[in-house]
Amino acid sequence: MCGVALRYLYSMANLMKMGNIGIKKVNSDKSKKTKIIAYALPLCVILLACLVMFVPGFGEEKAEISKDENVSAKDVYAGVDSADGANSAPDSSFGGSGNDTPVTVNTEPGLVPESAAADKSYFDDAAFVGDSISLMLSYYNASAKALGNAQFFTAGSLSAANALWEVSDKSVHPSYNGTKMLVEDCIKNSGVKKVYIMLGMNDIGLYSLDDSIENYKELVKRIKEKSPSVIIIVESMTPIASTSNRLGDKFNNTRIREYNSKLLEMCREMGWYFVDVGSVMYDESGYLRKDFCSDLETMGMHFTNAGCEQWVSYLMTHTV
């Protein structure tokens, strides 16, 4: 490279001497300026080329190192199946365990890594869509205002499936300012920019995991049709307690983890974000932590104030 450059310089010098580069001495100032440019430009090119070749790291794009690089979605939720659906403590390296070193915010679709804690005003233009799990968060936030002015479009027993049904007096749909309407209409009317979605508790016990994913995709498609620019952030399902009266073959923490794995795959495929909220809710046995659970003696899946605090803490340190 340098040899070529030197030959070029020599040629330029000869040409200048012979006067064959077409610079005419019509005007001495103009001629001088042209000569300066003729000398300076190739010198700059040569200098740049040498920098690229010989200075380490100069001009190279910084590789975005994602925590989930080369890790498949299944690896995130690897576990040992057991009869009651529990497993050993899940891999928490992607969760907000509090021990991880904050990394650069990853704006690539897929799993959102930990970042510096955002101010609660970050959620002023956000909405949370969900079932009764998120309903508890909405009441927590109404009091604590930990998520700023975030809006909540939640309804007990809401699912990705019944969210697609028509609104009626007997239908399950969230409300916007007290008026029941479709999820996509709530979002459109609210004008929010970010939409967090947590659904699944009322899906996976009734439908196959794949059908639930298809319903999820259809719901988001309808949201995007009415609000094309909203950012979609899917939240993982949270675990259920060991005392839950809902534990069974089709509804257990193994199935929840499997569904979360599929949700992550879906986000990568569709270009959405995924926040692994559920990862910080497990106890050492793979169930919902008892201190986070408000209904240990019944459904075993809803949150206490402490559980909501943990939830908020995770959201604040996993922003897009």
Nearer CB in complex with other proteins: 62/170: 170
Stretch that binds other proteins, among 2-10, 40-48, 58-66, 294-302 (CB under 8 A): 294-302
Q: Does 142 bind other proteins (CB under 8 A)?
A: yes
What track of x and - describes contact with other proteins for positions 247 through 286 (by CB under 8 A)? ----------------------------------------
- Name the helix (H) or strand (E) containing 264: helix 253-270
Q: Does 106 bind other proteins (CB under 8 A)?
A: no
Q: Does 135 bind other proteins (CB under 8 A)?
A: yes
Q: Does 138 bind other proteins (CB under 8 A)?
A: yes
Q: Does 298 bind other proteins (CB under 8 A)?
A: yes
Q: Which of 67, 180, 188, 217 binds other proteins (CB under 8 A)?
A: 180
Q: Does 303 bind other proteins (CB under 8 A)?
A: yes
Burial degree of 65 (CB within 10 A; 0-12, 13-18, 19+):
exposed
Q: Which of 181, 268, 295, 313 binds other proteins (CB under 8 A)?
A: 295
Give the Cα separation of 253 and 158 in Å (integer): 19
CB of 44 to other proteins, least distance (A): 60
Give the Cα separation of 113 and 110 in Å (integer): 9
Q: Which of 139, 209, 270, 283 binds other proteins (CB under 8 A)?
A: 139
Q: What are phi and psi of 262, to 5 degrees?
A: -70, -35
The set of residues, in sequence order, having a beta carbon less than 8 Å from that of 267 and lying 6+ positions away, is 109, 110, 111, 234, 273, 274
CB of 76 to other proteins, least distance (A): 28
Nearest to 87 by CA among 243, 292, 204, 256: 256
Q: Does 299 bind other proteins (CB under 8 A)?
A: yes
Q: Which of 155, 220, 223, 316 binds other proteins (CB under 8 A)?
A: 155
CB of 107 to other proteins, least distance (A): 29
CB of 172 to other proteins, least distance (A): 6
Give the Cα separation of 151 and 43 in Å (integer): 59
Give the Cα separation of 303 and 244 in Å (integer): 13
Cβ neighbours of 91 (radius 10 Å) = 15
For residue 209, give Cα distances in angstroms to 161, 212, 254: 12, 5, 12
CB of 195 to other proteins, least distance (A): 16
Q: Does 147 bind other proteins (CB under 8 A)?
A: no
Find the distance separating the first CA and the last CA of the chain, reported in whole Å.
43
Burial degree of 129 (CB within 10 A; 0-12, 13-18, 19+):
buried
Nearer CB in complex with other proteins: 34/189: 189
CB of 59 to other proteins, least distance (A): 51
Q: Using the 8-state DSSP alphabet, how is residue 238 labeled?
A: P
Q: Does 310 bind other proteins (CB under 8 A)?
A: no
Q: Does 170 bind other proteins (CB under 8 A)?
A: yes
The set of residues, in sequence order, having a beta carbon less than 8 Å from that of 93 and lying 6+ positions away, is 67, 100
Binding to other proteins, residues 190-209 (CB under 8 A): 202
CB 16, CB 38: distance < 8 Å: yes
Binding site for other proteins (CB under 8 A): 132, 135-136, 138-140, 142-144, 151-152, 155-158, 169-172, 175, 177-180, 202, 294-295, 298-299, 301-305, 308
